[in-house]
Structure 1
């Protein structure tokens, strides 16, 4: 076995750091309303939320002008009535970050008068991270090729697309990291 250099040691430490992150490695960040942000008007937040799939550990980012908007987490009843009295959480910093810590429905409105009624509200349904299981059926369109380096020789391979959150199983991640370490050392 060859002697391990500083570069190999750094590689191993980085692999252990990645493995220690576990399920949070695959958490995603969502800008509420995409590039438009958290405003009254052109964004239909119901459609926006339905076009995304949120999981435990993901982050919502609400970007808004704090002079005219805020973010209020409320119960379903208060969401339906557009009332911000006795909120579960209240934010008014202009760039609110909310980590989705538990599965289920979460309700956010703007507490400024008339904004919620005008559509500035969003229901976020948070799913648990799926357990590693059988792979989904392959996508109908071919995946783009990418290069796998093999000790300096490159080979072009095509792999099926798999959503990152489906790979977030700790045993799978650990096996992958060990395979990378062994490959890198020998």
Structure 2
């Protein structure tokens, strides 16, 4: 049952690391394992629960506080962690107040070196997040320069329609004055021509009277 719970919790921690992404660590932090309880069997809070409330980065340090010559810390594999097997540890920490540096990303597994204490909950797994160096992104490319439209050839340029001729009755305005187009006046009759007609009529009447007078004489 504990192995199944441990696998589920480890999967949750790994998933949380993926969701949170890669982070950048500028300074290492130091964590007292278990808080006030220290490294003891039957802790008031499970060590995996304590680890789930923290975020571990590369170069952070874990401090296991316990009584000297009474306990130890074993760094083990995932299989030995699940089985509480301390017979083949990767590393053994002893002497009290042992310090362990998290020198890589990924999971770490710890159990008590005292037989039987691992079964009492004295075991810890942590997941260290990877570190990514933040680099400034490339600047966006400059927009291309605007190209002015090419002028149209004379044959394709739009032409404006000719203005309509002015109406004869319309008045044209120039400046501030108004000019009215004068209407043509009838030509006056010449007096000399009238006098000539009157004279010719008188001569004609005189000749007619003479002819009529000669006829009565004969």
Q: TM-score, normalised on structure 2? A: 0.48
Confirm whether residue 38 of structure 1 aligns to residue 42 of structure 2.
Answer: no
Larger Rg: 2
Query: Who is 1:114 aligned against?
Result: 116
Find runs of 4+ consecutive structure 1 residues off by over 4 angstroms: none
3-state secondary structure, aligned to 1:48 = helix
Query: Who is 1:56 aligned against?
Result: 58
3-state secondary structure, aligned to 2:86 = coil
Count of residue correspondences: 112
| Alignment partners' CA distance in 1, 2:25 and 2:97 | 22
Q: Which runs of 5+ in 1 are unaligned?
A: 1-22, 135-186
Asked if the contact 1:73–1:107 (Cα under 8 Å) also holds between the matched residues in 2, the reply is: yes
Cα displacement string for residues 11-30 of structure 1 (whole angstroms, at most 9, x for unaligned residues): xxxxxxxxxxxx87511000
Between Structure 1 and Structure 2, the one with more strand by share is 1
Cα displacement string for residues 110-154 of structure 1 (whole angstroms, at most 9, x for unaligned residues): 0211100110000010112244379xxxxxxxxxxxxxxxxxxxx
Q: TM-score, normalised on structure 1? A: 0.56
Asked if the contact 1:32–1:62 (Cα under 8 Å) also holds between the matched residues in 2, the reply is: yes
Asked if the contact 1:109–1:121 (Cα under 8 Å) also holds between the matched residues in 2, the reply is: yes
Deviation of 1:81 (Å): 0.2
Q: Which runs of 5+ in 2 are unaligned?
A: 1-23, 137-218
Query: Who is 1:72 aligned against?
Result: 74
| Alignment partners' CA distance in 1, 2:102 and 2:45 | 22
Asked if the contact 2:76–2:91 (Cα under 8 Å) also holds between the matched residues in 1, the reply is: yes
